[in-house]
Amino acid sequence: MAVVTGTAVAAGAKTALSTSQIIAIGAGVTAAAGAALTAVSAANQADYNARQADIDAELALKQSSREETDFRRRQARLLASKRARAGATGMIPTEGSSLLIDQDIASETEIGARRIREGGSIDATQLRNERDLFRNQKEAAQISGVFESGASLLRPAAVAWG
């Protein structure tokens, strides 16, 4: 089959394409290109969002680690201050209620530190779930672009030769 200035030659017969058929084909090609570009743009945006969610997840873990360290330091200073006051008053910090208070502070410190760490881990998990969602959106945009481009090409062909 050869195409010569608006006519198609097939099996020895000439069939002229009308202006509306040529316009329909051109519109289909343009629509297919537009669908492909839209899909590429959506895929790129989803890819960017996935990378950003991954970065944010790492930052959440680092931030919670810093907060945990800071919390432990504050609690250690609090305990040291309490022991210093107890020592200044003549109390024995390793006996009786003073010891129980120290143990309680140490337990509460550990609980608080673990809650901070767990909060960072939960935030990171949520961000990684978002990352996975964005990756799925990227794949969906790519697949959708292929189908929409194909459909955009087939619609005017069906009209032109329908």
Helices of type H across the chain? 19-88, 96-161
Which residue is it, tokens 């200044």?
88
pLDDT at 44: 93
Per-residue pLDDT of the chain (162 residues; tens, 9 = 90+): 444 454 444 455 556 778 887 888 888 888 888 889 999 999 999 999 999 999 999 999 999 999 999 999 999 998 888 888 877 887 776 677 777 888 888 899 999 999 999 999 999 999 999 999 999 999 999 999 888 888 888 887 777 676
pLDDT at 13: 53
**162 DSSP 8-state letter:** -
**1 DSSP 8-state letter:** -
pLDDT at 162: 65
Calculated CA dihedral for residues 80, 81, 87, 91, nearest 10 degrees: -90
Look at the pTM and tell me if it is higher than 0.75. no
pLDDT at 110: 93
pLDDT at 73: 95
DSSP string, 86-106: HHHTT--TTSHHHHHHHHHHH
CA distance 117 to 67: 8
Amino acid at 97: S
pLDDT at 7: 47
Domain range annotation of the chain:
2-161
